Amino acid sequence: MTLLAITLFAASATHAATLLFKSNFGPGVSIGAPYNYYPTGNGAWQQIIGTDQETGHKWPINALGAIFSGIQLITVDPITPATIGNYITNQIRPVTGPKGTVVNELFQNVKIKGPVGQAGSQAPLLINRLSKSGEVADLYISYWFKYSADLVSKLDSGVSSGNWRTQFAFKTGGYAGNEDQGDYRINITILKGIDGNLYWLTKGDNLANGPFPGVTYWREENHTVPVPLDKWFKFEVYWHRSSGSDGRFWAAIDGEILVDYHGSNMGKYNLPITRIMLNDAYSGGYPTVESRSTGLEIWNNFPCGIGVSCHNFDTVAPSTPISLTGKLTKFTTSASAALSWKASSDAVGVAGYAIYKNGKKIGVSTTTSYTDIISSAATGVLYAYTIKAFDAAENLSGPSSVFSIIY
């Protein structure tokens, strides 16, 4: 075997944030069949499963102490496996994405929701966790999202509660031992004003399914940041949970700050977050209610700087991986090449490494190692491996030196 080595000097990352999860719903990811139907018949659950071959991250999400990451199906009427598709359908499908290239999107469609003014049915993309897992004190989430061109006509400001559409929410839980009963919620919704224009409303309240009289702690309307229609936009949200003045809730649309609330964002009982509705096909208006999303990222802090949007922020590729080496192990009818290399660095953060064999991409690793199984190998065949680092913005480094083996 031969090893060609080069030496590079890598700049250190400039922001202290760790990428916890990233998925484009790429090849390898699928949606399971609805299961665990409610005793009342008014809903079920759908897991998202598989390893995203574009990012190396695996569904269900392991971060945050999650016990479920997928889609919750809630219906206005009792349903069965034979009828759930009449109310809600979810699919992963290829589309032209935010950057003009083909990507996979998660398409959620609530077809029957009840009369206008009543929410009835919904399909949140949900992360569930147990209260005993503790607080999610700091978290940054981003994804690309697309609303239909007819969203304005789907909302009706002339009907009580008929003019809202949910974008994002989190809820606490664990009150009296019940994971679904909380004391605090933050909710971002789109509303239609009497002038017919859409605007954003963000509020913190105690409407987290707990047995408490409703209280709104704070609310902020934003009539300046547009609600994008019929085009992809980048949604970002960050929070620091605290009962003091250092609490923060921040969100942005295509880099424009939607809300930046400072102050307490804890409830009366300081309960932890147990439900994160990343986005939610949920509305008081007319069906259908659609959600289209891709490029989900979860970080443990602001990745591009405190209070800085990552929209069009990161255009610099990670440093090139160095010191690629490996070990060939032969078996009776196959072999394995165990590769390892030194970590790259990036101005925001390295998201993973793409592995190439003889110039063809064969996999992704989120660590600095990878094992390639060579099956049905022919004697005397040369295998040349290279590695490229990529960041969350999908900037790709140059190739590493070549590690070659002859079987």
- Residue range 243-272, pLDDT digits in tens: 999 999 999 999 999 999 999 999 999 999
pLDDT, one tens digit per residue, over 274-287 is 999 999 999 999 99
Mean of the pLDDT values across residues 3-22?
A: 54
pLDDT value for 331: 77
8-state DSSP, 283: B
Average pLDDT of the segment spanning 53-81: 96
Considering the entire predicted model, what is its pTM? 0.88
Residue 13 has pLDDT above 70, yes or no: no
* pLDDT tens string 137-192: 999 999 999 999 999 999 999 998 999 999 999 999 999 999 999 999 999 999 99
C-alpha to C-alpha distance for 366 and 60, rounded to whole angstroms:
16
List the Cα angle 301/146/90 in 5-degree steps. 95
CATH of 19-299, one of 2.60.120.200, 2.102.10.10, 1.10.10.10, 3.40.50.2300: 2.60.120.200
Return d(Cα 275, Cα 127) in angstroms, integer.
6
What pLDDT is attached to residue 321?
97
Q: How far is CA 367 from CA 98, 351, 354, in A?
A: 27, 9, 11
Rounded to an integer, what distance in angstroms lies between the CA atom of residue 95 and that of residue 293? 11
Residue 305 has pLDDT above 90, yes or no: yes
Q: Say if CB 2 and CB 335 are below 8 A apart.
A: no
pLDDT for 378 beyond 80: no
Which of helix, strand or coil describes residue 152? helix
If one compares 405 and 213, the residue with the highest pLDDT of the two is: 213
Mean of per-residue pLDDT scores for the chain: 93
Q: How many Å apart are CA 404 and CA 328, to the nearest integer?
A: 10
pLDDT of residue 407: 77
Residue 154, exposed/middle/buried by CB under 10 A (0-12, 13-18, 19+)? buried
- The whole-number average pLDDT for the span 189-218 is 97
**pLDDT band for position 15 (50/70/90)?**
low
Residue 176 dihedral angles phi and psi, to the nearest 5° = 55, 30
Question: What whole-number distance in Å separates Cα of residue 187 and Cα of residue 216?
Answer: 11
Considering the segment(s) 2-12+315-406 as one domain, its CATH architecture is: Sandwich (2.60)
Chain centre distance of CA 191 = 24
Between 355 and 394, name the one with better pLDDT. Answer: 355
Task: Please determine, for residue 18, whether its predicted confidence score (pLDDT) is greater than 70.
Answer: yes
Task: Report the distance separating Cα 198 and Cα 400, nearest Å.
Answer: 49
**Planar angle of CA 16, 21, 27, nearest 5 degrees:** 145
pLDDT at 3 over 70: no
Q: Which is higher by pLDDT, 128 or 382?
A: 128
Q: Which amino acid is at 201?
A: L
Higher pLDDT, 314 or 142: 142
Residue 61's contacts (CB-CB under 8 Å, 6 or more residues apart) are 21, 69, 127, 298
DSSP assignment of 62-90 equals: -GGGEEEEEEEEE-SS---TTTHHHHEEE
* Cα-Cα-Cα-Cα dihedral sign, residues 33, 39, 43, 46: negative
Domain layout of the chain by residue ranges: 2-12+315-406, 19-299
Give all strands (DSSP E) within 130-184, no chain letters: 138-146, 164-172
User: Has residue 11 got a pLDDT over 80?
Assistant: no
